[in-house]
Structures are given as structure tokens and as C-alpha cells.
Amino acid sequence: MMEFPVRVITIAGSAAGGSAGIQADLKTFEELDAYGMSIITAIVGRHPETNKNVHLQSIEAIEAQFATAMKQVGADGVKTGMLFSKEVIEVVARLIQEKEIKTIVVDPVMIGKMNSKLLKADAIEALIHQLIPMATIITPNVPEASILLGGRELNTVDDLKQAAVDLHQLGAKNVLVKGGRLKGPAVDVLYDGTALTTFTAPRINTVNTSGAGCTYSAAITANLTKGQAVADAVGKAKSFVTTAIEHGFSYTDIVGPTYHAASRKFGEAHSIKIETLT
């Protein structure tokens, strides 16, 4: 009898260029043998005349998408990405809680790759108080961790370690602070409430990293939903995204995407150095 793949939902923005948001998530889910569904919170695409870049979906549309996915398929795990507003965060938190989905990955998308603002100021409190406490793991990058900590500067790996410990107090079971914007090797820090674990990969010399954070958190979601322990899920996800970054590309002079099929196509995966500190 066929064993069906785990069911995972991404609740995030739709990136018209295909490199980030739900597009990156769904590509990642497929590569990792998870059945992916999407709830679009906003459509991201810059209008050539008005210059408007974020086109929000209504609360009704978000509720309708979620209800349809749950009725037709159901969900074993969920990840959230760009939610943008207080109202969207509130409804997403309610919907997830009502269905008692066990694996919840919160990527607190606030700052885009080109430092674009992707979360309204009044939504940060809703994120902190309503969504983060539900999370199995949160995955902020350096700017996002800084915002969640009230603007604290994070410049070193030791800063990331302390940030992970402090962010754990917000209620998530696990905190992964991603150090991709620091200098030197790409070091991320995981804190589970007891131990700190670092994940180190070589820094890839490329600008084509659009969607890397989405891809990373989506891979963690798929791995966790399949029953992997948190540190294992993070380590394998980091290997996956590092390989995808190494083979990133661009069709134009605009920053291009990571290559989600890289591990499969090239038959390789980056080795990640993992150290647990007590």
C-alpha cells in the first residue's frame, strides 16, 4: 500500500518572480517529499506605473484558502512567512490553533533581501504575543532577531547565541537565529531551552540568494513534520539550502533564486559542522 507524503501548508506571500514566498516553499516541499499547500496572504509584484509592491489578500480570502486546504487534504505541519499586518497575524494564529496543528514553524518575515519592509510596525506585537508562543521553532535572521529584541545590535556569533537564549523567552519551543548576514562562515544558532547548537557552513560567494530564508524554513518544516528531531531537521535543512545557494542563478541582472533541485540534480549536499554547547 502506498505511503502518502506528509501534508504541509505554507501561509505566506506569493512572489511573482518565483524565487521566494510560497513559490520557494512549494518547490522545497516537493524536493523533500512533502505534499505542499499554500495560503496566500499577499501578492508581491511591483506595478510599473503605481510602484505598489505588496497587494494584500482579504481576511475572507485567507480564511477561504485555509478552510479549503483543511477540508480537501488536512495538515500535519504549517509554516508562516510574510503575514504583513496585525489583522492577518491574528486570523492565522486563530486558524492554526483551531485545527490543533502540531508542527508550527514561524519565519518572522520582516525584512526582505534588499532590506524592504515586509511587516507593519503594529503587527510586531501581535507576532510576539499571538503567533510566536505557538511555534515549534522560529527562524529569524539577524535584522529580524534585532527587531524582536528591541533593536539590539547582533554582530558576532556570541551575539547570536545570547539572542537565541533571550528570544526563547517569547514562548517558542525552539529558536534558530540565522547568521547569514554576518561575516565569515555562515553560522546559525539553535536554542531549545537547554542547549545551544551551532550549524556552520561555508559562505558561498554569490548574490543569487533570493528566497534562501524561505527555503531554509520550508525545509525545516518538511523535516520536522516527517518526525525528525529538531537539531537533525535544522542540520539537514541547512545542508539543503547551502547546496541550493551554491547553485543559485539569475536570468537577468536582478538578484536570482537559489536552485531548489540542486541536491537532487547534482547528487550532492553540503556537509554541515554541528556543535552542541552545554
Report which of 87, 94, 101 is spatially closest to residue 41, judged by C-alpha positions. Answer: 87
Residue 113 has pLDDT above 80, yes or no: no
- DSSP letters spanning 193-249: SS-EEEEEEPPP--S--BTHHHHHHHHHHHHHHTT--HHHHHHHHHHHHHHHHHT--
Identify the band that residue 3 occupies on the pLDDT scale cut at 50, 70 and 90.
confident
Report which of 143, 125, 145, 141 is spatially closest to residue 133, judged by C-alpha positions. Answer: 125
Residue 218 has pLDDT above 60, yes or no: yes
Residue 115 has pLDDT above 60, yes or no: no
Identify the band that residue 116 occupies on the pLDDT scale cut at 50, 70 and 90.
low
- DSSP letters spanning 39-101: EEEEEE---TTT---EEEPPHHHHHHHHHHHHHHT--SEEEE---BSHHHHHHHHHHHHHHT-
Average pLDDT value over all residues in the chain: 93
Residue 114 has pLDDT above 60, yes or no: no
Mean pLDDT of 135-154: 95
Cell numbers that stand for 272 in this block: 554541515
Residue 8 main-chain phi, psi, to 5 deg: -130, 140
Q: Which domains are assigned to the chain?
A: 6-277 (3.40.1190.20)
What pLDDT shows up at residue 216? 98
Residue 70 main-chain phi, psi, to 5 deg: -70, -35
Mean pLDDT of 271-278: 87
Mean pLDDT of 173-190: 93
Q: pLDDT tens, 237-250?
A: 999 999 999 999 99
